[in-house]
Chains A and B, each alone.
Chain A
Amino acid sequence: MAWLQTLIDACYFLAALLFILGLKRMSSPRTARGGIVWAGYGMLLAVIATLFLPDMENRGLIIGAVLIGVAAAWWSGRRVAMTAMPQMVALYNGMGGGAAAAIGATELISHVGGLAAVNGVVAPNTFPLAPESWSPLHGVATVIAPLSPVALALGVLGALIGSVSFSGSLIAFAKLQGWMDRRFVFPGQRVVNMLVLAAAVVIGVMLAMGHLTLPLIGAFFLLALLFGLLMTLPIGGADMPVVISLYNAFTGLAVAFEGYVLHNEAMIIAGMVVGAAGTLLTQLMAKAMNRSIGNVLFGSFGAASGAAAQEIGGSQKPIEAADAAVMMAYAERVVIVPGYGMAVAQAQHKVWEFAQLLLARGVKVKFAIHPVAGRMPGHMNVLLAEAGVPYDLIVDMEDINPEFPATDVALVIGANDVVNPLAKTDPSSPIYGMPILDVADAKQVIVVKRGKGTGFAGIENALFYADNARMLYGDGQAAAGQLVSELKTLDG
């Protein structure tokens, strides 16, 4: 059966190759679509090959579980609205972390009873790739597997990281889905978190040293899951993209480590690539928000904002949709700044319709996108692309900021923290130092906003009180609809 093993190994090799090429293609807009398809073929190949591995039992159960899992995820992934994509990524990522933890759990548990098996009858058909051959107990019994302590240690580490990613991602999902209050803070939280993590690590070290008992394994997983939970609870929604990206990298690492335990090179390579890519992506996001990853995780966003916040003078000045429409219809340059509010209101189509009407009147319209607008970097790009806005009208922050002084009207739709001038002027503000879109430099600013409340980060926005700012209160979709109809009556 050597040819079968070679064939399976070749499939794994091809899968790893397809993953890397697919990811590479995904990093360029022109080839991105093909990238995911390539990676998809790789996955299919790896899964089918796995079914043919020798010494596999429970094939019926495996196929059943795969079918149920695929069907449920496929169905939910198809149905969900584009605006809910960030939390779906969090959810699926958590599932991956959970799967990695489950692998670690079965490995550890199977070695609990392993001692008896070693002393009694050792299955002679230990296939080279079977995890049994990596058993630390085999190592103890025969002293021929010097690597097994490494495998055990990595298995425990992968289980820890996977568990944290699992419970943490589920909390992130619940928060973005709006099932949970924004933050959950109690005194001494950091100490408690550290104690929980320390306890999990201590038990993990005991496990890695070969003290494998069921209660210890159970306690290990409970503590790891609890830590993921506690670690994510105090993090504010504005930081969620960074956290999801971090957990994405975590899951990748966990998968790579469990891949080492299972002796599966495809898992090691795919997991490690994602671990590294995810870490870099997390850094890029944190940098765009001018926050370090440590600050996001431990810095309790908004805790300092009550202290010495700058007094904001003036008042919010409302404007009617009709006036706003006229103002933009006779402007020369209009810059539209979308934010998460636009996503929530599903207003991207109406906004693009409005922009098209302006374009038809000869107004120069551009869309300005802050790197972390919405809940994930590129979130707004995805939504605008969905509505059909062409690339060349979408401008990044660095390119649009110098243009604001020459802009007649800046239309802010559902964006808040990313246009808050306090980030530049108020050192006590929690978002101080974050690069922002300088919409306040435009001659007029129109802000579409549901109410007078603060934004997602819970910070007052000085822009709304500026002399050149007018507030158009209303849901993003409704407001954009009004602007469209006002513009049409103007034309008609």
Chain B
Amino acid sequence: MLDGFLALYIFMLAAFTGYEIIARVPVILHTPLMSGSNFIHGIVLVGAMIALGHARTPFEMSIGFVGVLLGAGNAAGGYVVTERMLEMFKTSKPGKGSGEAK
């Protein structure tokens, strides 16, 4: 079970993890990274699915349904956009070959 302080520890460690990952990122990747983190909070889809799974009244079910729709949009859209951005970085590589050092 997630007890008060255990949850607090998770919040804290996750926050530091996020901070550390971004801290050393080159400017060139800021946009793809924003898009990538946008995809990762698409995990909200899982929460929306649980909410809809526990909904009992039609009112709750319709809100849960919209939630799942939106969450699925966040996850899928975030993935496609990020992947398209990063794909370009790949195709540009054979151009001159250098730049890897950066």
Contacts and interface: CB of A to CB of B under 8 A. Distances in A.
A252 interface: yes
Contacts of A106: 51-52, 54-55, 60, 63-64, 67
- Which DSSP category, helix, strand, loop or mixed, fits chain A's interface? helix
A29 B85 CA distance: 11
A388 B92 contact: yes
A385 B71 CA distance: 30
B86 to A, nearest CB: 5
A418 interface: no
A131 B50 contact: yes
Given A73-B73, A102-B66, A92 B38 contact: yes
A311 interface: no
A39 interface: yes
A260 B55 contact: no
A76 B78 CA distance: 11
Contacts of B77: 73-74, 76-77, 88, 91-92, 95
A147 B79 CA distance: 35
A394 B27 CA distance: 12
Given A78-B80, A113-B57, A262-B51, A377 B31 contact: yes
In this complex, which of B66, B76, B83 has the most chain A Cβ atoms within 10 angstroms of its Cβ? B76
A38 B95 CA distance: 26
- Which DSSP category, helix, strand, loop or mixed, fits chain B's interface? helix
In this complex, which of B1, B25, B47, B102 has the most chain A Cβ atoms within 10 angstroms of its Cβ? B47
Contacts of A390: 92, 95-99
B33 A26 contact: yes
B11 A33 contact: no
A378 B32 contact: yes
- Give the top 7 A-B pairs by smallest Cβ distance, nearest first: A391-B99, A69-B72, A102-B67, A77-B80, A276-B18, A56-B53, A73-B77
Contacts of A65: 52, 65, 68-69, 72
Given A69-B68, A276-B17, 7 more contacts: A53-B53, A61-B64, A92-B78, A95-B77, A101-B67, A382-B31, A388-B95
Contacts of B57: 109, 113
Given A27-B22, A33-B89, A273-B17, A19 B43 contact: yes
A271 interface: yes
A385 B50 contact: no
A361 B67 CA distance: 57
Contacts of B91: 385, 388
Given A272-B10, A276-B17, A385-B88, A58 B61 contact: yes
A260 B2 CA distance: 8
B70 A102 contact: yes
Contacts of A59: 53
B75 A23 contact: no
